[in-house]
Amino acid sequence: MSNPTELTHAPHRDDVGARMGMWLFLFTELLLFGGLFLVYAVYRHEYYSQFRVAALELNLSIGALNTVILLTSSLTVALSIGALQKGQKHLSVMLLLITDILALAFMVNKYFEWSTKIHHGIYPGSEHLLNLPDGQILFYGLYYIMTGLHALYIIIGLVFLTIVLGFVITGSVNKDSYVKLENAGLYWHLVDLIWIFLFPLFYLIQ
Amino acid sequence: MANGTIAIDDKSFLEEGTTKKATGIASWLFSTDHKRIGLMYLIAIAIFFFTGAILGVLMRLELIAPGRTIMDAQTYNTIFTLHGVIMIFLFIIPGIPAVFGNFFLPLQLGAKDVAFPRLNLLSFWIYLIGAALVLISLFVEGGPIDTGWTFYIPYSVRTTTNVSLAIFAAFVLGFSSILTGLNFVTTVHRLRAPGMTYFKMPLFVWSTYATAWIQIIATPVIGITILLVVLERLFGVGIFDPALGGDPVLFQHMFWIYSHPAVYIMILPAMGVVSEIIPTFARRTIFGYRAIAMSSLAIAFIGYLVWAHHMFTSGISETAAIIFSFLTFIVALPSAIKVFNWVATMYKGSIDPQPPFLWVMSFIFLFSIGGLTGLVLGALVTDVHVHDTYFVVAHFHYVMFGGTGTIFFAALYYWFPKMTGKMYNLKLAKFNAALFFVAFNTLYFPKFIMGYMGMPRRYYDYLPEFQNLQVVSTVGSWLMIIVICLIIYNLLSGLLNGSKAEANPWGGVTLEWHIASPPPLENFHEIPEVTHEPYDFSQLKNMKYGLKGESK
């Protein structure tokens, strides 16, 4: 083998491996939130009645609206994968755009919800909050951390989806090679799934 | 490769990179080649290890006499914290997986690279960013962190030093660890060469695989815990702050839910290296292959369920303490299974006491002391007596430095010829190993005695009755730094002026010994077909590079 020769082979591609890596990553994200659910469980147990009182202050209709928005966006991203698999690129792009818009709508709602709270003087470290009982301080602390971190996930998911949207438009993600879109969809479903637990924990259980 | 063509020639990965345009240092920093990434980790980790060791020597020097010797108490606090943070988060957790896992996992599996080469490079970059954050936290206003590497609440919320930045660095490093872990798991599942079934994988692969799972499952918990501490410091959310209704013991639970499994992230890959080195130098197949492979998974699993043994004196319920104590004894079993199997492998072997093997002998001795004193700490009654004393410090250094650190050097001496194609001075390496054993015991054994006598850990000052033992320990630290300098000297002079190494100097039979040293860019010109058990030495005479490099 002293004479250099050329060897040609197909570029390495492993869709199953890529999906597996994504699932493992989602698993770590769930465990990250798992830590927060653990903290929530401990303090709900310790400050049962205070958590009830504080939860009544949350705006149930905004929460419900956001749940509907997020569930719908999960549907549209799933449909866009199906559309791409059937070769309907235009439809797939439209559905991804709708997903992006729904994600933005979620963030707008979140902005109004948080700013109302902050306007009422309820935010970590505020004088009003520090005068409330310990259980309520913890409830709002967890409320801001958990929904805030979830909002950060929404933003990351939005960026992820938009990048893949670009790939679909340029054609590098297409009918035969769509694992990137699938992975973006998986991430988006995770964001949705976490919200499905956050919504009852903060808004519904009283 | 992305363009679908590679040149087949005799160039090694050191001469030919994955980057088309970049040359010089950029062809390393942007390389997706697992071997180059492994070597870059090695350089970074070696620098941090040396820094951490120097900090340790300074600490020991301060303790050579009671009262102030060379530094004030606050400096001492920051130095032991930095020693811990650097050694734990920058050296020993990434240590063996990032360096040797990256380099040898694909080679031993018969793969051309890891499953996600670009993600691998990203992990390295994230590691560098984390390390940079640690360094920055030393110099910005507020001063270096002084909480101890465990960051216990409430002090870590009250102190004015740069806790937020330093622990955020640990968060970033955790991210690097997670990405490496999921990369390795996927690699093991997807890229095994044809014929390599799970029970034909080398044991280093098995232990790295078990480690990767711990990295994936445990690290997110420390991630969220650290974020909560940072938010606590920035906004006063109250989650762990007792003044706002939070619970500091909950922090300890969440910290140890990660940090106990993390000690298995540190030790498991080392155990894998031992399982490679012993068969090679005993020229005999490993005894109890399946027991060793499965005990790695058992350690990974049971290791999750023992975290509260760090908290026996923190005010947990007696029932919980008894259960965690029991589980702690259980987790000693798989480690013991490994030790017995290693010793049994050597029985009636034809042992060739080369340097890597001598390091492994040190390991078995030191790790056994570390493991057995762990049982003293796992038992509730004795733990109350020696908790937070030098006894814990000694135990921890026997398992971590005597265990993982020793094997880090063993792995360097074992795989150095394969990684660089050069050979170091064997006589000096043997002398190294012997001096290390003496230095180690001089440095750490007195701590067992001092701890038993009641010397608390992390104290700046002590009673005069401890001075003799403190002096012995300090002298040990000087010997240790000489050993470390000798290792660095031996390897660097081997790299620069060493003779060319044979492709298979030790007569190993796992797949990395079937190819040239240093390996070519894509490892295998043809993906090998695995027909032998991993430690079947009957194949040695038919290998391309047989014993002592007699090329066929």
pLDDT tens readout for residues B230-279: 999 998 888 998 888 899 999 999 999 999 999 999 999 999 999 999 99
User: What pLDDT is recorded for position B17?
Assistant: 83
- Domain ranges (residues) in chain A: 46-204
User: What pLDDT is recorded for position A12?
Assistant: 76
Provide the residue type at B330 as one letter.
I
Cβ of B77 under 8 Å from any chain A Cβ? no
Cβ of A11 under 8 Å from any chain B Cβ? yes
Residue A176 Cα distances to A180, A188, B69, B258, angstroms: 11, 22, 70, 41
- Cis peptide upstream of residue B518 (ω within 30 degrees of 0): yes
Cβ of A27 under 8 Å from any chain B Cβ? yes
Task: Count other C-beta atoms under 10 Å from residue B72's C-beta.
Answer: 10
pLDDT tens readout for residues A112-123: 999 999 999 998
Distance CA B141, CA B435 (A): 42
Its CATH class, for the domain covering A46-204, is mainly alpha
Of B10, B220, B238, which has the smallest distance from its Cβ to A141's Cβ?
Answer: B238
User: What pLDDT is recorded for position B21?
Assistant: 75
**Which of B6, B34, B171, B182 best probes binding to A when mutated, by most A CB atoms within 10 angstroms?**
B182
CB contact under 8 A, A138 and B3: no
Q: Which residue of A lies nearest to B9 if distances are taken between CA atoms?
A: A4
Task: Count other C-beta atoms under 10 Å from residue B372's C-beta.
Answer: 13
Query: Chain centroid to CA B38: how far?
Result: 14
Query: In b/e form, how buried is each residue of B95-132, taking b as 16+ CB within 10 angstroms?
Result: bbbbbbbbbbbbbbbbbbbbbbbebbbbbbebbbebbe
Cβ of A4 under 8 Å from any chain B Cβ? yes
Per-residue pLDDT, averaged over B126-139, amounts to 95
CB contact under 8 A, A142 and B183: no
User: What pLDDT is recorded for position B8?
Assistant: 53
User: What pLDDT is recorded for position B87?
Assistant: 96
CA distance A14 to chain B (A): 8
Q: B433: pLDDT confidence band, cut at 50, 70 and 90? A: very high
| A182 exposure class (CB count in 10 Å sphere: 0-12, 13-18, 19+) | buried
User: What pLDDT is recorded for position A1?
Assistant: 36
CB contact under 8 A, A145 and B228: yes
A positions 93-122 inside 8 Å of B (CB): none
Q: Which residue of B lies nearest to A140 if distances are taken between CA atoms?
A: B237
Q: A205: pLDDT confidence band, cut at 50, 70 and 90? A: confident
| Dihedral over Cα of B433, B434, B435, B439: its sign | positive
CB contact under 8 A, B254 and A38: yes
Of A8, A16, A47, which has the smallest distance from its Cβ to B4's Cβ?
Answer: A8
Cβ of A13 under 8 Å from any chain B Cβ? no
**What is residue B197's three-state secondary structure?**
coil
- Counting every residue, how long is chain A? 206
Average pLDDT, chain B: 93
Per-residue pLDDT, averaged over A175-196, amounts to 95
Cβ of A132 under 8 Å from any chain B Cβ? no
pLDDT tens readout for residues B41-71: 999 999 999 999 999 999 999 999 999 999 9
B positions 251-270 inside 8 Å of A (CB): 254
CA distance B97 to chain A (A): 18
Answer whether B69's CB lies under 8 Å from B380's CB. no
Task: Count other C-beta atoms under 10 Å from residue A83's C-beta.
Answer: 21
Q: A206: pLDDT confidence band, cut at 50, 70 and 90? A: confident
Of B4, B237, B250, which has the smallest distance from its Cβ to A145's Cβ?
Answer: B237
Cβ of B541 under 8 Å from any chain A Cβ? no
| Res. B420: pLDDT tops 90 | yes
User: What pLDDT is recorded for position B547?
Assistant: 66
Percent of chain B with pLDDT over 90: 88
Q: Predicted ipTM?
A: 0.91
User: What pLDDT is recorded for position A9?
Assistant: 54
Token readout for B299 is 């350690």
User: What pLDDT is recorded for position B419?
Assistant: 95
Q: B20: pLDDT confidence band, cut at 50, 70 and 90? A: confident
Q: Which domains does chain B have, with CATH numbers?
A: 30-549 (1.20.210.10)
Per-residue pLDDT, averaged over B166-181, amounts to 95
User: What pLDDT is recorded for position B4?
Assistant: 42
Mapping DSSP onto H, E and C, the string for B347-410 reads CCCCCCCCHHHHHHHHHHHHHHHHHHHHHHHHCHHHHHHHCCEHHHHHHHHHHHHHHHHHHHHH
- Residues of chain A with C-beta less than 8 angstroms from the C-beta of B119: 21
Give φ, ψ of B219 to 5 degrees.
-60, -40
User: What pLDDT is recorded for position B5?
Assistant: 44
